[in-house]
Amino acid sequence: MPTTLIRGGTVVSATGRVAADVLVDGETVAAVLAPGSTLLGHDLAASVDRVLDATGRYVVPGGVDAHTHMELPFGGTAASDTFETGTRAAAWGGTTTIIDFAVQRAGERVQDGLAAWHAKAAGRCAVDYAFHQIIGGVDDDSLKAMATLVDEGITSYKLFMAYPGVFYADDAQILRAMQQAAELGLLTMMHAENGPAIDVLAAQLVEQGRTGPYFHGVARAWQLEEEATHRAIMLADVTRAPLYVVHVSAKQAVQQLAWARDAGRNVFGETCPQYLYLSLEEQLGAPGFEGAKWVCSTPLRARAEGHQEHMWRALRTNDVQMVSTDHCPFCFKGQKELGVDDFRAIPNGIGSVEHRMDLMYQGVVTGEITLERWVEITSTTPARMFGLYGRKGVVAPGADADLVVYDPAGHTSIGVGATHHMNMDHSAWEGVEVDGHVDLVMSRGEVLVDADGYHGRPGHGRYLRRDLSQYLV
């Protein structure tokens, strides 16, 4: 296996930064050394197969995006990125691990849902991948099957308080699943929105002729995210199940998480770039049906109500621990357009897997977060939260050589025209300009992206069996 020296950069971790050279031997990091070090008298640069120059740039652990939906069937269509196109886009953006959601639907065996997801992903991924398990139908069989997940390398599962008739779990089902999860050490991930109430409000809006994309966000009121978040916290408390709330967008939901954590509960939350940057007002201002590009759930929130500002604060104070994308792309033509007469038929989702590292680095540029916190929320914490730390999430001897050389003096135009690599005919991020640039991406010692372009291939990425969450005692 080839050896590589990445020389002259600043290695950044969740806890600090240091000028260092990184020696890669085969698939793993062999050493992090003082700049220009020799090893047992050998000039390293002369001894290795390849020297990569990182002068003036950061060397960070590859991004871990813990929330993606490649090929997710939704609303009569399916998310437009396959594991092949979606992981290629991830690699372009410096994300070297994704955790996708295998889906079990009501009436289906969990094992069959999981096998279907393995079949979609195997041999197609450019970067390493793991799964969470969606339990879309909680019953005696699926509860029993949860006991097999840890052996499959799946240590977290997701329930939905939204989407009645699709993935929805009622309180009794949630309680039973959480009891089982607490027993097994599984982390419960929750889509916390009051789905039955949302569906009533949505139907009333459509009856009133309010059918445009903006009304998606009106129906999915923040009160219904706050209420569901609170309910999830209390159900978790009574069952002693650790809880991780996905795609938190409302300020009031963050306050619920903060309150629960202050009370000593094992409660965690993620947010997504769209809830930090985009707003309901911008969706309202979009011409015609264009606002459909920003239809996702939880929805974009009103900037006038301070949600985005509060979310940045929560990232600083650790009331929210990490940032994933909820990457769930749909094309405008033929997919988003399904809801042109009724926002309820717009497939929910935004594609961002390629942009998370750049978008969050922008928070460093604007002074919202530190450089170390950037690494923590995009790589280190996701790895720890989902049982991958040590292999992923850190640049240290023995870790997989998943590395990004990031240029703080570079510039990235996000989603302009066809410049992104996701399988979408538009971008929610059209026209966004950020300082910083992904210069080089390495996955287990292989260079996937560099100044010459893309060198990755389907099948390089391996399935990762995860340990139990390293956040839980």
Binding site for ligand DUC (CB under 6 A): 69, 74, 191, 296-297, 326, 328, 348-349
- State how far the Cα of 28 lies from the Cα of 392, in Å rounded to an integer: 10
Binds 104, which of Zn ion, ligand DUC, none (CB < 5 to 8 A, cut-off by type)? Answer: none
Q: Which is nearer to ligand DUC, 297 or 469 (CB)?
A: 297
Helices then strands, counting H and E runs in the chain, come out as: 15, 21
CB of 198 to Zn ion, least distance (A): 13
Binds 233, which of Zn ion, ligand DUC, none (CB < 5 to 8 A, cut-off by type)? Answer: none
Q: Which is nearer to ligand DUC, 295 or 302 (CB)?
A: 295
Q: Which residue is nearest to ligand DUC (CB)?
A: 296
Binds 130, which of Zn ion, ligand DUC, none (CB < 5 to 8 A, cut-off by type)? Answer: none
Beta-bridge partners for 383: none
Q: Of 228, 266, 219, which Cα lies nearest the Cα of 247? A: 228
> Which DSSP category does 335 fall into?
T
Structure tokens that stand for 371 in this block: 């450089």
Q: Which is nearer to ligand DUC, 136 or 363 (CB)?
A: 136
Binds 349, which of Zn ion, ligand DUC, none (CB < 5 to 8 A, cut-off by type)? Answer: ligand DUC
Q: Which is nearer to Zn ion, 199 or 372 (CB)?
A: 199
Structure tokens that stand for 207 in this block: 């009856």
End-to-end CA distance of the chain: 38
CB of 175 to ligand DUC, least distance (A): 21
Q: Are 154 and 466 in contact (CB under 8 A)?
A: yes
| 209-212 own/partner pairs: CB under 8 Å, 24+ apart | 211/341, 211/342, 211/343, 212/289, 212/291, 212/343
Q: Are 213 and 285 in contact (CB under 8 A)?
A: no
CB of 163 to ligand DUC, least distance (A): 7
Q: Which is nearer to ligand DUC, 277 or 361 (CB)?
A: 277
Binding positions for Zn ion, rule: CB under 5 A: 191, 326, 450, 452
Binds 97, which of Zn ion, ligand DUC, none (CB < 5 to 8 A, cut-off by type)? Answer: none
Q: Are 135 and 177 in contact (CB under 8 A)?
A: yes
Structure tokens that stand for 224 in this block: 């219904």
Binds 348, which of ligand DUC, Zn ion, none (CB < 5 to 8 A, cut-off by type)? Answer: ligand DUC
CB of 297 to ligand DUC, least distance (A): 4
Q: Which is nearer to ligand DUC, 326 or 446 (CB)?
A: 326
CB of 120 to Zn ion, least distance (A): 16
- State how far the Cα of 209 lies from the Cα of 229, in Å rounded to an integer: 30
